[in-house]
Chains A and B, each alone.
Chain A
C-alpha cells in the first residue's frame, strides 16, 4: 500500500518535472513550400504550441533563403482571399496557433535560389517572451499540409525537423520594454 502511494507520488512529481521542462513553446510539423523556379516567393508553415500560462507573440522571422522574411495573414473577405503583412502573430496562453496555407504564414520574399523539394531550409523565429528559435525545415510540395499522398489519417511528421534553441538572452534583447 505504502509502496503504491509512493509510486503515485513519484509519478506525480515526474509529470510535474516533465511539464516544467516543456513549459515553453513547442514548434511542430514545420515545412517550406517548394515553388516553381520562376517564383521568387515561398512560404513557411508550422504549428506553435504555447504551454505557458502567458500568451506570447511571434514578432520576427529570418531566413538565409530569402532577402526579406515577413509575417503575413490571409483573410477571406467576401469571396476573395486577401493577404496582408502583420506586425506579430499572437500565440494564446495554454493554446496553439497554426501557421498554414490560407491563414497565418511566414513569407519568404526574394528567394536567393529556388527552394526544391527534398532540401532543408533554416528559419529563425523570434518570440517576444520565448526568444529565438532556429528551425531546420523540410521543403515539400503539396496542398494544405505539404504532403502529396493525402491519406485520410495524416500522421504528424516530426522526424526531419529540428529545433535548435538559440540563447535565451537573444530573445530577451528583442523584448519590448
Chain B
C-alpha cells in the first residue's frame, strides 16, 4: 500500500521536475522575451499636461508612445534623451505622426506647466511635458518601474535628481512593450518602433 503511494508521489515529482526543466530550457522567441522583460509593468495614467489640462495615456491610443522621466533642470541625461527622441521622430519620416513623446517631470515643485512646455518644445513642437502632484508622479513612475531620488549636492546647481534614464515604448493599444537604455543605437530604436507600428496593422 505504502509502496503504491510512494510510486504515485514519485511519478508526480518526476513529472513536476521534468515540466520545470522543460519550461526553464525551452527556447523563447523574441516576443515572449520582451513580455517577460516588461512583466506586469505599464498601464494607463492621468497627469497634467503642459497646457494645464489633464492628459491620459489612453488619449494617445492608435499611436506608439515614447515615455521618459526627467526634469527641466536636468543638465545632462534629459537633454540627451530628448535629443535622441527628436532624432527618432525625424527618422520615422511619414510615420512621425503615429509617434507621441511624453516627458514626465519628477520635479513638480520647480517644473510648472509653462516651463515644461518651453523645455519640451525646444526639442520638438509635438512633444508633451507632463506634471502632477508628488503622489501622481510617484504612482506613475512605480507603474513603469522608473525610479527617482532627490539629491542635495554640494553643487551650485542646487538639488538634482538621480533618475531612470530609460525610454519606455508603449504600443498603440496602451501596452508597455519594451524600453531603451541610453546606449541603445538609433537604428535599433527606429527599427523596433516601426515593427510595433507594423504589428498593429497586420
* Interface residues of A, Cβ cutoff 8 Å to B: 33, 35-39, 41-43, 67-68, 70, 72, 74, 77-85, 101-102, 105, 107, 109-110, 141-144, 148, 150, 152
Contacts and interface: CB of A to CB of B under 8 A. Distances in A.
A144 B80 contact: yes
B176 to A, nearest CB: 15
A contact face: mostly helix, strand, loop, or mixed: strand
10 contacts: A36-B122, A39-B72, A70-B156, A77-B162, A81-B162, A81-B165, A82-B151, A82-B162, A105-B76, A150-B186
B119 A36 contact: yes
Interface residues of B, number: 37
A42 B157 CA distance: 11
Contacts of B60: none
B118 A143 contact: no
Interface of B: 72-73, 75-77, 79-81, 83-84, 87, 115, 118-119, 121-123, 145-149, 151, 153-157, 160, 162-166, 182, 186-187
Contact of B83 (A72, A84, A141): A141
B149 A143 contact: no
Contacts of A43: 75-76
A80 B187 CA distance: 24
B179 to A, nearest CB: 10
B87 A74 contact: no
Contact of A79 (B115, B147, B151): B147
A101 B82 CA distance: 13
Contacts of A141: 83
Contacts of A35: 79, 122
Contact of A41 (B73, B145, B146, B149): B73
B115 A38 contact: yes
Nearest to B186: A150
A102 B77 contact: yes
